Structure 1
């Protein structure tokens, strides 16, 4: 008998998550009712509905479908089995030192928020939800006694470290992922006594599968001409109703250990078992024949006292092939200037990495996953 997806609307973070989404996720993890959580917002929700095609029979073995952010192209529905999600959650709890209670601070339509629910289910605990306007201090104080964890994106960590560092220190682990985390931010957090752990992964790996550069138990990593490749029991089955994209991203032939591999399209290096990710293959800006990493330039810009946040992209240039362009959120009371920031970046990364164009923005647009919306930033720049 054909199985079909149930679509659940993702409410704004708050008690409604426990009423509407939490029971549905538990049922999906038990293999009882295949589920997809729709993101908030009319545009993202319409795109998700089109990808999910709930009227079409669901692929064999899938129990949850997570819609990607679309940060690297058209959104896709990632087919996850309950076993893959459970394997990921179990490996995370083992790495962190055992089950505990979780603070949900991320959208449940994204895999990072969904995994907070999955880890809570495995630990047989109900997550505490951080709602809009809630103080982190109050939410952490409301968590049960014992080991306490949360997962954040870098901008949340940055804000909490400034406003409520004591609340972060009260947690046994703060997972941070979804986007590259500035080394300076990590240093500041660790110097402040926060047990922060960087995570690397994506919807196709049921969430983070490499912690502080070291793969979780059961996860295999290799670096090839396709970039970083990942294998393990947490791997997705493929993409919803898209066999072409599935074949391009997932190896059909298993290796000698019987593993399938996912091609991430991320650039990385391996030092023994430790993985360092440098950015995406398609994000690199080639300017004057020199490869420039947008993430490295963003990190350098955020370290400047006049900059609160930054996103970097490349734009066509008749002389250089592409020029580095920066969209910057000024620090309170500051007015960043191009000449100053160019010098700042050049001193740290070399002259080719220095932005040739600067745009001041009130805030960096974000996708529903919490990642910077680079396409929206590009549209802002082009409009300017």
Structure 2
């Protein structure tokens, strides 16, 4: 049981965290808090149930104040083991994400559980396809199964510049942000074994793969004002709680909306806070984005609600073209047919890229500000 949390400054090479994390998992060292290299954070004590923590991850605070998520060693191991079981067995991992985020930390945990030191992509110069290939080469030449985890922007770049290296992996976990259906289809058509993941720091990272919960993970939906509900998660990967706030009933109520198909597969519809209320109608941006991203000439899209005196909010779409873009009217027509009249964007702009935060997540607040 850990009595204290110690901050571990983590460079973009990330291996400084490996040994402290190993000690925290086996109980021979204190709980660890990964922080960006150069950041100073004083140790802080754990009290009562908090002493079960092995890892503390600070949330981004994008929807409020940042929170310290306390994860136990059993939860981290359960996540790693269930991931390996789903992918076909333990293997060797390439870390291509920051280890100050749960997705990056879990690559290290899976490596420790599998008994192999991970390969690490140095992200200091930014993500580059050639550097990814260089880091992957020795790993893919080693025996056994090979895995990595990416965000959609990384996948898109690798598909454009070096898809061959991706084909060498037995599994490519994809999370951190919504994946455009066209990107996912292109990757799979190219022979890349992509597995989409849904989860967060509070669930030790991804806990639903390709819409299906990992072994032991439970999913339910609370009722909402849409033909969907708030996603709630439980199971062995769940965090103990936030610092000073225990998850007492065994369930974590996410901020995301979802719906379950007849086959039990979960479809994530985006954050409940992002739902646009226009003229009294509720419009989930994810449904609009799905339709627009399927249009020829669209690489990425972000749909937001803008304040409006008449409608309350209006739907607005920022589109990143891939070659000749569709016209604004083509965008509106597709949404009208695919989602409904209330969801039609009243404003459509074409931009060279979308602003991001954290590990590849689109910054919706910055997108909304860009409309002026």
Superposition TM-score tier, normalisation by shorter sequence: 0.7 to 0.9
Q: Distance in 1 between matches of 2:203 and 2:277?
A: 29
Equivalent residue, structure 2, for 1:363: 353
Matched position secondary structure for 1:135: helix
1:79 aligns with 2:67: no
- Shift in CA distance, 186/308, structure 1 to aligned 2, threshold 3 Å: closer
Q: Contact 2:108 / 2:118 at 8 angstroms: preserved in 1?
A: yes
Worse-superposed segment, 221-230 or 75-84: 221-230
1:69 aligns with 2:66: no
Q: Contact 1:137 / 1:166 at 8 angstroms: preserved in 2?
A: no
- Name whichever structure is richer in strand by fraction: 2
After superposition, residues 243-282 of structure 1 pair within 5 angstroms as 243=245, 246=246, 250=247, 252-253=248-249, 260-270=250-260, 271-282=262-273
After superposition, residues 175-194 of structure 1 pair within 5 angstroms as 175-194=173-192
Q: Distance in 2 between matches of 1:265 and 1:370?
A: 19
- Shift in CA distance, 344/10, structure 1 to aligned 2, threshold 3 Å: farther
- Shift in CA distance, 235/2, structure 1 to aligned 2, threshold 3 Å: closer
Q: Contact 1:215 / 1:273 at 8 angstroms: preserved in 2?
A: no
After superposition, residues 147-226 of structure 1 pair within 5 angstroms as 147-225=145-223
Q: TM-score, normalised by structure 1?
A: 0.85
Equivalent residue, structure 1, for 2:298: 307
Q: Distance in 2 between matches of 1:158 and 1:278?
A: 21
Matched position secondary structure for 1:63: strand
Q: After superposition, what is the alpha-carbon deviation per residue over 1:198-256, rounded to whole angstroms, capped at 9, x for unaligned?
A: 11111111011111111111111112226121111111011123x3xx5xxx4x34xxx
Displacement of 1:84: 0.7
After superposition, residues 79-118 of structure 1 pair within 5 angstroms as 79-118=70-109
Displacement of 1:182: 2.1
Displacement of 1:160: 1.4
Displacement of 1:337: 5.2
- Out of 226, 229, 234, the residue aligned to residue 232 of structure 2 is 229
- Out of 117, 131, 136, the residue aligned to residue 140 of structure 1 is 136
Q: TM-score, normalised by structure 2?
A: 0.88
Q: Contact 1:71 / 1:374 at 8 angstroms: preserved in 2?
A: no
1:28 aligns with 2:24: yes
After superposition, residues 347-362 of structure 1 pair within 5 angstroms as 347-362=337-352
Displacement of 1:181: 1.6
Equivalent residue, structure 2, for 1:323: 314
Equivalent residue, structure 1, for 2:8: 8
Structure 2: gaps (5+ residues): 224-228
Q: After superposition, what is the alpha-carbon deviation per residue over 1:96-154, rounded to whole angstroms, capped at 9, x for unaligned?
A: 11110001111111111110000000011111112243433322222022200011112
Q: Distance in 1 between matches of 2:361 and 2:279?
A: 29
Structure 1: gaps (5+ residues): 254-259
Count of residue pairs brought into register by the alignment: 356
Q: After superposition, what is the alpha-carbon deviation per residue over 1:342-381, rounded to whole angstroms, capped at 9, x for unaligned?
A: 2343343333222212344443222223211222323333
Matched position secondary structure for 1:23: helix
Q: Distance in 2 between matches of 1:344 and 1:129?
A: 42
Worse-superposed segment, 55-64 or 108-117: 55-64
Displacement of 1:2: 7.7
Q: Distance in 2 between matches of 1:310 and 1:9?
A: 35
Q: Distance in 1 between matches of 2:325 and 2:183?
A: 22
Q: After superposition, what is the alpha-carbon deviation per residue over 1:45-91, rounded to whole angstroms, capped at 9, x for unaligned?
A: 69xx6xxx744545221110111122322221111011110111111
Aligned alpha-carbon RMSD (Å): 2.4
Matched position secondary structure for 2:144: coil
